[in-house]
Each structure stands twice: as structure tokens, then as C-alpha cells.
Structure 1
Amino acid sequence: MLKNEYKVTVRWGDTDAAGIVFYPNFYKWMDEATHEFFKTMGFPTTDLFTNKQMSIPLLETHCQFKSPLFFDDEICITTTVEIVKKKVFKATHLFTRGDQQIAEGYELRAWASFENGVKAIEIPEEIKQKMGE
């Protein structure tokens, strides 16, 4: 199974008044990690959209928090595509700080064409195969 690691350093603006990472940032980082996953795989989502009018809109997302993050923490988000169906895939994300698990979440995304509005389409076979490696 193909995995990708995306590293992030928590910035001051990522934290709330208590100095803890504000929870929507985990969703932002999951989104970034998914786009980085496709880039590393050789299919940057910016190219897919610009050249083929394809994108990967979110259908569902979830995150379970286990430990807080603070300013200047360095974290690693390990992304794996766990499920690949005809038009939909599920990317899982594991957040760690060193050996400590911080959070885990997932995104359920569709494969979509933006040529004539937005319409779910089959995931191209070459991409499906690459995701399942």
C-alpha cells in the first residue's frame, strides 16, 4: 500500500488563545497531505484540474484528536489510500509528533469532472493502480 509522509511545523497562527492548535487546522493539513500524496504519486492535482478539468472534491471527513499540538511542534502526517472504489476513494491520515500519535482522520473523496459542471466520474485506471500500490 502506497504511503506518503507530509511534514508540518505548527505556526503561531495555527493556535488558539490557549496556545493549542485550533482544530480546523487538522482538516486543512489533511487536505494538504492528500494533495501532496497525489503530487508525490506523479499526478499533481493542479495539473489534473488545469489540463483535464478533473478534481477530487470532499464528500466526508472526520478527525479524532488524541493529544494537543502547540506552537513550533513538528508533526508528520502519514497518508494512505485505504479504499478505492469506482468513483470514490478514502484517504486516511495519521498525525504523529515523534513516536506519539496525535490524531487520526480520513477524507472520503469523489473523482470528478469539471468540464460541464461537476460530475462524478470513474477514477482513471492508471491512478487507481498507483493508489493501490
Structure 2
Amino acid sequence: MKNIYDIKVAWGDTDAAAIVFYPNFYRWMDQATHELFEAAGYPASKLQKEEQVILPLLETFCQFKSPLVHEDRVSIHSEVTEINNKVFKVEHQFRKGEQVVAEGYEKRAWTSTAEGKPKAAPVPSFIKNVLLQ
């Protein structure tokens, strides 16, 4: 499953050089992952309340190709590209028009909170089926 999340760079997203401060790409990847799950019918609030599941971040990476500045409009193209037993990978591509300005990924754990203490759990097949279509 793929999802596109659009943003407009705000003034506060930039640094003293007037370009986007790099941690914002990681913040946007996090938001884009939540948007992807919401588009799949599993928003974070539903996962947490009904399924007793959270999706903690295990690893992240971003490669910057071209700077963004205030008021740029960016589309974040996100897709789950890999699901192992308890861990899945979401790849993100940042596009300004047709230009790829950054690419990155997140690895997250499917984590149950049913017993109080978070514990990695197998990703259910019904979730795999939705995310890998």
C-alpha cells in the first residue's frame, strides 16, 4: 500500500540558513507513517485503544538530495516495503514536484501493550495483507 502525505514548509521548520532543519524530515516521516496507517484503516488511536498496539521506532535513516525552504510544497510518498515477523519497514520519498529532495526509511516494531509492559509481537496477517497490497 502506498500513501501520499502533502505538507507546506512552515517558517519554523527552517534554520538560520533559511533551509529546512534536518530533524524535520524525521518528524515528517513519523507523521507520514501515521497517515499511511490511517489510510489503511488503522489510525494510531484505533491501534492503541482497540488492538492494544503501538509502533515504536527502532531505526531511521534519511538521505538529503536538495534543500527545501519556507513555503515549499512537498509530497511524502510512503510505502511499507518489508514486513518480518515483528518488525516492518516504511520507505519515504520526499518530492517537490517531480524532484526527489530526500529519501529515507523507518523500521518499527509491532508492539503489544496488552500485558501492561510493551512487548514486540508478530504482525497479524490481516495487517500484512492490507499494508503489502
Match of 2:129 in 1: 129
CA drift at 1:53: 1.7
Tell me the alpha carbon deviations over residues 65-117 of structure 1, each in whole angstroms, 9 at most, x when there is no partner.
Answer: 00000000000000011101111100000000001110000000000012221
**Structure 2 regions of 5+ residues with no counterpart?**
none
Q: Which TM-score applies when normalising by structure 2?
A: 0.97
* Deviation (angstroms), 1:52: 2.3
- Output the amino acid matched with 1:126: F
SS at match of 1:39: helix
Size of the aligned set, in residue pairs, is 132
C-alpha distance in 2 between matches for 1:52 and 1:43: 10
Give the AA of the match of 1:123.
Answer: V
AA in 2 matched with 1:67: S
RMSD: 0.7
Instruction: State the partner residue of 1:24.
Output: 23
Q: Which SS does the other structure have where 2:81 is aligned?
A: strand
Matched residue, 1:91? 90
Aligned residue for 2:64? 65
**Separation in 2, partners of 1:53, 1:84:** 19
Q: Deviation of residue 51 (structure 1)?
A: 2.0
Indicate the larger mover: 42-51 or 29-38.
42-51
Residue identity opposite 1:110 in structure 2: A
Identity of aligned residues (%): 52
Could you tell me the TM-score, scaled by structure 1's length? 0.97
Larger deviation: 45-54 or 2-11? 45-54
Q: Give the drift of 1:50.
A: 1.8
Q: Which amino acid aligns with 1:124?
A: P
Distance in 1, matches of 2:18 and 2:48, equals 37
Q: Deviations over 1:23-76 (max 9, x none)?
A: 000000000000000000011111111222201100000000000000000000
